[in-house]
């Protein structure tokens, strides 16, 4: 347990992997899908806050939160209580057919974070990020009567057919699975660290806008484009924050051509960036928002929020048997209580959103100081607890191999972490991370980097 004088540290009781971990991994390799990745030998047994203990009793500090999901950490008492209470009432009725107060009030709570004066939004609930994305593109096509969708290179939107078509991060998601959705075009993402289209960090946003406009001249009729879908901060592609002018310019472009603007907030949303939605760091409002991951502290629920003026699909045209499950909705309410600060978390000040902003800023400051010590840390970027650390070769090109070694060295020292992009480690811990726990994680990172 954490005390004032002795902050909790990872505790490695066996060499990794321990014998029980090894035995489960062998059975896992025999019986589970051949598509699953197993980057590190870790088999969780239980968790508490930002700590996860494996089946051999090894306790690790969690700096990835099950890919940016476990917003409130593991087994948060407030979330556990909400789930327990709901599961004793009912666990399923089917929201597609019958309204339930718990999902009605969840929708009311979610739209409060996005509605501007004079605007009304509505919510469709699903189970996963991909399902929210599918709903978004179906709605955009249905609403506009147009077919074409524009997405970005480096993006990740999920693994169902529509979502993998939109995804632009890795060809392995698509190889051998075609034919995919027709009429999808990818454009570069404005990455200020690696500006596309011969641009600079300052001009990369405008360069991407100009590129889209040039497609409208020679390649895609603009009046056939239903939607542009984009992560306001790109996750899987490398935890990239676009320049401040980009999203407002994209909004203006969509307005000019009657295109629906979809912001995929599945990874960066739900308080992770220090604001409820990552697009709120910019002066912009989308037409549709997709949410999942961090919404319910690990219980499966997703949401597609749309302006009422856009949500024009007819009764019965879309639904989901499990979508908006009441137990997951209870977890989402409890998560929102903590994110908004209605319920406090010890050591985290006002709200988890504010905590993400301040602890994240501290981590980024410290990592930037480390750049002087370790020149292979080419870029430190992000917002709140959505932080990317890019590894570079002396010539500035991405160094994926060094990133892999660094990531393993951190794991071996008790820090759970995950890569993304070509050469990036993503830092996406639970939003309850205290400054003291952040210091522990940074110390492990420094030791790991020094060992390379």
Ligand X SMILES: Cc1ncc(COP(=O)(O)O)c(C=O)c1O
Which residue, 264 or 422, is less far from ligand X as judged by CB?
Answer: 264
* Cβ closest to ligand X, residue 292 vs residue 327: 292
DSSP state of 279: G
- CA 212, CA 276: separation in Å to the nearest integer? 29
Q: In sequence order, what DSSP letters do the residues of 167-182 get, joined into one string?
A: --S-GGGTTT-----S
Nearest to 193 by CA among 372, 424, 450: 424
Q: Which of 272, 275, 304, 261 is nearest to 122 (CA)?
A: 304
Would you say 52 and 59 are in contact if contact means Cβ atoms under 8 Å apart? yes
The Cα 127–Cα 200 span in angstroms is 39
Supply the minimum distance, in Å, between the C-beta of residue 391 and ligand X: 21
Q: In the chain, how long is the greatest CA-to-CA distance?
A: 66
Report the nearest approach of ligand X to the CB of residue 172 (Å). Answer: 14
What would the two tokens of residue 56 be?
A: 């051999």
Q: Contact positions toward ligand X, by CB under 6 A?
A: 67, 128-130, 133, 156-158, 231, 235-236, 264, 266-267, 292
365 has binding-site annotation? no
Structure-block tokens of residue 435: 């400054």
Q: Which residue has the tokens 């999808």?
A: 184
Q: Has 414 been labeled as part of a binding site?
A: no
- Residue with Cβ nearer ligand X (157 or 249): 157
What Å distances lie between residue 63 and 58, 142, 256, 396, 442, CA to CA? 16, 40, 42, 26, 10
- What does DSSP assign to residue 315? T
Coil vs helix vs strand at 402: helix
CB of 372 to ligand X, least distance (A): 32
Is 265 among the annotated ligand-binding positions?
Answer: yes
- The answer on whether 264 is annotated among ligand-binding residues is yes
**Is 267 among the annotated ligand-binding positions?**
yes
Select 51 or 246, whichever has its Cβ closest to ligand X.
Answer: 246
- Whether 130 has a binding-site annotation, put simply, is yes
CB of 130 to ligand X, least distance (A): 3
Q: Which is nearer to ligand X, 133 or 329 (CB)?
A: 133
Q: What span, in angstroms and rounded, lies between the C-alpha atoms of 406 and 178?
A: 35
Of 51 and 189, the one with the shorter C-beta distance to ligand X is: 189
Closest separation between CB of residue 264 and ligand X, Å?
5
For the bound state, the minimum distance from the C-beta of residue 137 to ligand X, rounded and expressed in Å, comes to: 12
Which residue lies nearest ligand X, judged by its C-beta?
Answer: 129
Residues belonging to the binding site for N(2)-acetyl-L-ornithine are: 159, 320
Known binding residues for pyridoxal 5'-phosphate are 129-130, 156, 264-267, 321
Binding-site entries? 129-130, 156, 159, 264-267, 320-321
């Amino acid at each position: 347990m954490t005390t004032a004088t002795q902050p909790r540290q990872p505790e490695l009781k066996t060499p990794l992997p321990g014998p029980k971990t090894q035995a489960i991994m062998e059975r896992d390799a025999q019986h589970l899908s051949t598509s699953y990745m197993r980057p590190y030998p870790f088999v969780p047994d239980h968790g508490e806050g930002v700590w996860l203990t494996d089946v051999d009793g090894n306790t690790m500090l969690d700096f990835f939160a099950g890919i940016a999901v476990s917003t409130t950490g593991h087994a948060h008492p407030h979330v556990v209580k909400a789930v327990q209470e709901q599961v004793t009432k009912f666990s399923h009725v089917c929201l597609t057919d019958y309204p339930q107060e718990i999902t009605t009030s969840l929708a009311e709570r979610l739209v409060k974070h996005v509605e501007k004066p004079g605007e009304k939004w509505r919510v469709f609930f699903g189970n996963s990020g991909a399902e929210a994305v599918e709903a978004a593109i179906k709605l955009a096509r249905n609403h506009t009567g147009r077919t074409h969708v524009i997405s970005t290179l480096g993006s990740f939107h999920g693994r169902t057919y529509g979502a993998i078509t939109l995804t632009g991060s890795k060809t392995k998601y698509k190889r051998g699975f075609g034919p995919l959705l027709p009429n999808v075009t990818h454009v570069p993402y404005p990455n200020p660290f690696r500006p596309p289209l011969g641009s600079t960090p300052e001009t990369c946003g405008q360069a991407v806008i100009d590129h889209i406009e040039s497609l409208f001249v020679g390649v895609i009729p603009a009046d056939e484009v239903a939607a542009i879908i984009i992560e306001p901060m790109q996750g899987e592609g490398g935890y990239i924050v676009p320049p401040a002018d980009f999203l407002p310019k994209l909004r203006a472009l969509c307005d000019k051509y009657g295109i629906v603007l979809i912001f995929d907030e599945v990874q960066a949303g739900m308080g992770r960036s220090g604001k409820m939605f990552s697009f709120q760091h910019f002066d912009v409002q989308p037409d549709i928002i997709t949410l999942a991951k961090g919404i319910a502290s690990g219980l499966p629920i997703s949401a597609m929020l749309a302006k009422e003026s856009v949500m024009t699909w007819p009764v019965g045209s879309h639904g989901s048997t499990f979508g908006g499950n009441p137990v997951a909705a209870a977890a989402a309410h409890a998560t929102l209580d903590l994110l908004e600060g209605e319920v406090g978390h010890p050591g985290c000040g006002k709200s988890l959103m504010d905590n993400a902003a301040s602890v994240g800023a501290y981590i980024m400051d410290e990592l930037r100081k480390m750049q002087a010590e370790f020149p292979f840390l080419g870029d430190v970027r992000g917002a709140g607890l959505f932080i990317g650390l890019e590894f570079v070769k002396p010539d500035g090109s991405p160094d994926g191999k060094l990133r892999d070694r660094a990531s393993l060295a951190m794991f071996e020292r008790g820090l759970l972490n995950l890569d993304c992009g070509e050469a990036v480690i993503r830092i996406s811990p639970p939003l309850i991370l205290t400054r003291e726990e952040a210091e522990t994680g940074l110390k492990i990172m420094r030791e790991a980097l020094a060992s390379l």
